[in-house]
A and B are shown apart, each in its own frame.
Chain A
Amino acid sequence: MTDLLEVISGILLLIGSGLIFTGALGVLRFPDTYSRMHAAGVTETLATTSLLMGLMLLAGWSLVLLKLIMILLFILFTSPTASHALAKAVWRDQQHKSHGEQPHDS
């Protein structure tokens, strides 16, 4: 039983690492900021989920499991807000540039 859990956990950790590598590759490969953010989106959703799930299987029924669940929830709640803020900043910057103005804080 524990052997099976360890194997599944290993597979999940491997998938997570592969997805993070893919995200990094996408960030390097894609041509503009927005497209790169889509690639980064892979690392913050499915990659972190499968990594944390792999760790949860190793943790077993303990307080660590609860903490890992909390980390996962906090990441899933905050990352879309962070990427929205980043996208909006890029958009405003482009608006300013296309109007020939200096970007300024407001």
Chain B
Amino acid sequence: MKYVNSLLRGATITFGLLFFALPIYASSAFAFKDREGNFSLAPLQRAGANEELMESLFLTLQIAFGTVVITLLLLIPTIAFLHLVLPQARTFVEFLTLTPLVIPPIVQGVGFLYSMPTQLKSTPNALIFAYVILALPFSYRAIDAAFSTIDVKTLFEASTSLGANFFTVIRKVIIPNVMNGIFGAMFLTIALVLGEFAYASLLLWDTFPTQLAVAGLSDANTAVALSVVSLVGVWLILNGLTLFNRRGTTTTMGAL
């Protein structure tokens, strides 16, 4: 019986890993080859030479950076405030930050397009403001979960009693203790920005995903190679982050 169970578990895991790995393997086999069918990194070199694609990648990274900065600036003080001063409002804010999930990105994008002033829409940075909202349900939960595992109030009182001022406490005591949540929020936000398509295509900005879609029409190998590299790359970076941050951020990712 025990034996059958572990056999079943092994089979399921093998099947699951194949499920994930097979398309990655098969699409790599498709993309990374030259005209004669030999292994080649030429598609990636072509991608590197494609200026529009590279520009879009830099733009997307810039947007990701901006989104992370605004998200943290907005959320860390708010969540610290909620835990310290207004714990009775936590349920309400939790509900509030879930609302972006109810409004599909494409719908938000249309509303954004028809309501925001032209000055804002005329720069790709407009996407930053939108992406903060899109990432909010995940980023809020990741940071809030980290705050919930520590007793902010007691930590605050203890350090104040030892003579630390407000900002010292935040910087030296609170932030280091919620670092895993911050990492989780950062990662989720970056992952979301790197893949966001609906908003960018509606607002006609050439971000990495929209340029990737364009590239797919002309050079399939390059598009596929970039797809594989971007997914595997983000995955490796995330694993690097969780290694670096021993307490692990993966559980907060599921904290929906």
Q: Do A and B bind each other?
A: no
Interface set of A (CB-CB < 8 Å, partner B) = none
